[in-house]
Amino acid sequence: MWVSSVWRATLSPGRRAHSALAQLRGVVEGELEGIRGAGTWKSERVITSRQGPCIRVDGISGEILNFCANNYLGLSSHPEVIQAGVQALEEFGAGLSSTRFICGTQSIHKNLEAKIAHFHQREDAILYPSCFDANAGLFEALLTPEDAVLSDELNHASIIDGIRLCKAHKYRYRHLDMADLEAKLQEAQKHRLRLVATDGAFSMDGDIAPLQEICRLAARYGALVFVDECHATGFLGPTGRGTDELLGVMDQVTIINSTLGKALGGASGGYTTGPEPLVSLLRQRSRPYLFSNSLPPAVVGCASKALDLLMGSNTIVQSMAAKTQRWHRSWASSPGSTTFCYP
């Protein structure tokens, strides 16, 4: 060991750097082999067309059906959404080259935040580069060691990571298990604030959180309710407001985080909407908000138009529901044989 240490000390800086790089390569290659061996290697398909129900993919001739995008309402390629993005690009530029609080807030950012709050029937809203950032920025800014957060065990990775960043006491309840949530709420009564955190629609299995029961328990035990609506905003509920509208508890959910990168145009961006004092606190303390560039104007323009389309008419939402019912009927009558592309 002593000889090895002396030998390493005598290496030139260049050779030591080369040795460190070789060590890194060995470690990383071992990790990659482990991923391949576990069958969890992820390959990226290269799309050569716009996003849509039918797409072109590099290496495959003709169009193929696309059932794996989160473009739930087809707005990623909607002509009015695209035109709104082009107009915002021409009027407000490619980007802000700044964070929001320095010189990165334009009128379109404030207008979109107001529109989001109005859409969700909340007091205020704050934009983030993504909903992952919104989840990373919420819990740490809001909760302290005096507080507690109670999280469904199958919540999205971004919720889990966001909760890890905060110093609150952490409770994990079994998936959709209201008896276990109640037991955890009873245990958490000794803390100042209690925040129940759940996905509205769980993206992997399609489960819908029992928000009526969650809100009932929250009221009984003096807790707040947080819902991540990324896989619900725009298409669940009679007018696309999400799972809280679907289940009739819009006035009982305290905080909503969601995305602009799925149903609402599909570009990028996320947000938190809720009480005005909370949003003001996030503008002062939420690190992903304070230290990230503002959303590009084109993205803001596209998302704003997507919301206009939803709030102007529920035709798009109803069309989505009709297509879903059509698929269910076709699948039930002939499982595995239904192959058609929605217009």
Question: Which amino acid is present at 209?
Answer: A
Nearest to 266 by CA among 55, 57, 40: 55
Query: What is the rounded distance in angstroms from the CA atom of residue 147 to the CA atom of residue 143?
Result: 6
Which residues contact residue 213 at a Cβ distance below 8 angstroms, ignoring those fewer than 6 apart? 178
Catalytic one among 77, 203, 319, 330? 203
203 as an active site residue: the answer is yes
Catalytic one among 109, 184, 262, 305? 262
Which residues contact residue 299 at a Cβ distance below 8 angstroms, ignoring those fewer than 6 apart? 85, 260, 265, 267, 268, 269
Question: Which amino acid is present at 229?
Answer: E
3-state secondary structure 100-152: HHHHCCCHHHHHHHHHHHHHHCCCEEEEECCHHHHHHHHHHHHCCCCCEEEEE
Catalytic one among 78, 156, 184, 231? 231
Judge whether 110 and 327 are in contact, CB under 8 Å: no
- What's the start-to-end Cα distance of the chain, in Å? 70
Q: Which two tokens stand for residue 151?
A: 């999280």
Q: Kindly report the CA angle at 133 between 129 and 138, in degrees rounded to 5?
A: 130
191 as an active site residue: the answer is no
Q: Give backbone dihedrals phi and psi of 321, rounded to 5 degrees, phi first.
A: -65, -40
Nearest to 98 by CA among 297, 301, 269, 303: 297
231 as an active site residue: the answer is yes
Helices (H), 42-122: 79-92, 100-103, 107-120
Q: What is the DSSP letter of 189?
A: G
Show which residues are catalytic: 203, 231, 262
